[in-house]
Amino acid sequence: MACHGGDGAGRPGAFPPLEGHVSELLGRDGGREYLLDVVLNGVSGPTEIDDEVYDGFMPGFRQLSDEEIAALMNYLSQAWGNSEALPADFELVTAEEVAERRSRELTPRAVGESQPR
């Protein structure tokens, strides 16, 4: 909540919004994997969302269990109206899926560079 805000709106220029953006990423090829990599490994480098550039750093949360990360991902996909814009074939993230992504350790910069556009 401190970074992206309790309403998921983010902070201009500092922390990108999760509201609307999570569901948009989940609709892109590779977006689901990218979001899992962000939560696991962190992310750094520039990204542009709605004509606003963000160039910060987010730490990863590898200390959370696979079940906790799956629950977090599922919350993010449903919160702030994101559920209304999810792809029709969206399925909830599973702990097994998180475990598979966890095996790929990436730097935050590599995650940032992999963002699907």
* CATH label of the domain that carries residue 50: 1.10.760.10
Domain, as residue range, for 32:
21-113
- Residue 1, pLDDT > 80, answer no
Domain contains 3? no
pTM of the model: 0.92
Domain contains 10? no
DSSP for the chain, written as a single string: -TTT-TTS--BTTTB---TTHHHHHHTSTTHHHHHHHHHHHEEEEEEEETTEEEEEEEE--TTS-HHHHHHHHHHHHHGGGGGGGS-TT-----HHHHHHHHTS---HHHHHHT---
Report the domain count for the chain: 1
Domain contains 8? no
Residue range 63-72: mean pLDDT, rounded: 98
Residue range 69-75: mean pLDDT, rounded: 97
Residue 44's pLDDT is 95
Domain contains 80? yes
Domain contains 5? no
- pLDDT category at 31 given cuts 50, 70, 90 is very high
Residue 5's pLDDT is 86
- pLDDT category at 13 given cuts 50, 70, 90 is confident
Domain contains 42? yes
- pLDDT category at 21 given cuts 50, 70, 90 is very high
